[in-house]
Amino acid sequence: MSYEEGCLSLPDQFAEIDRASTIEVRYLDRQGELRTQKVDGVHAACLQHEIDHLSGKLFVDYLSSVKRNIILRKLAKVRRLAKVPA
């Protein structure tokens, strides 16, 4: 499944990202018990996006180098214009 993703880490930047439409997640609940849950649709895409953050990945890491560089150049330009330190 493909969704247009964005991220607060890269403000106002979006791209179509292919992700699994259904996933199974294992997690510890509040009592420390291991749980498993199947998730699909937008919820699955959101979980994959957030799990990627835990692994140090951003949605742009799934793009071709050309598309990724376009987005990163746009962000660099916005920073320069706003005089925000890198």
- φ/ψ of residue 28, rounded to 5: -100, 130
Among candidate residues 5, 16, 24, 50, the one labeled active-site is 50
Q: What is the DSSP string of 3-14?
A: EEEEETTEEEEE
- φ/ψ of residue 16, rounded to 5: -75, 125
Catalytic, 4? Answer no
- Which positions are catalytic? 50
